[in-house]
């Protein structure tokens, strides 16, 4: 007589473990996708801020050069002459602390 093969039955506990394993797999997959998107967004934000900082530094440098140009001694003398004033070197007092 041929022996009948017994079917391997999956118990309720094993079924529950498989179910939780599948759920955990999909949750981890979703978390990985979410975190990857979040990190990508943060990197883009950082690069945008760096770009803005570089532009602001260039603007500040340009404005500093303009200020230095406008406060040069020659420019001050030119403005003084246009206003009808005279430059008197004897009236300059240097104060040291």
- Please report, in tens digits, the pLDDT of each residue of the chain (97 residues total): 567 777 778 889 999 999 999 999 999 999 999 999 999 999 999 999 999 999 999 999 999 999 988 888 888 888 888 888 877 777 777 778 6
pLDDT of residue 74: 85
pLDDT of residue 32: 97
pLDDT of residue 5: 73
Would you say the pTM of this structure is higher than 0.75? no
Give the integer Cα–Cα distance in Å for 57 and 64: 10
Nearest Cα to Cα of residue 89 among 72, 68, 73: 73
């Amino acid at each position: 007589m041929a022996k009948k093969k017994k079917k391997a039955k999956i118990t309720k506990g094993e079924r529950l473990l498989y179910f939780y394993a599948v759920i955990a797999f999909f949750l981890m997959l979703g978390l990985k996708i979410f975190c990857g998107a979040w990190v990508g967004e943060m990197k883009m934000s950082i690069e945008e801020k760096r770009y803005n900082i570089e532009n602001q530094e260039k603007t500040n440098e340009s404005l500093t050069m303009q200020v230095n140009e406008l406060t040069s001694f020659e420019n001050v003398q030119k403005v003084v002459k246009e206003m009808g004033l005279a430059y008197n070197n004897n009236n300059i007092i240097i104060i040291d602390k």
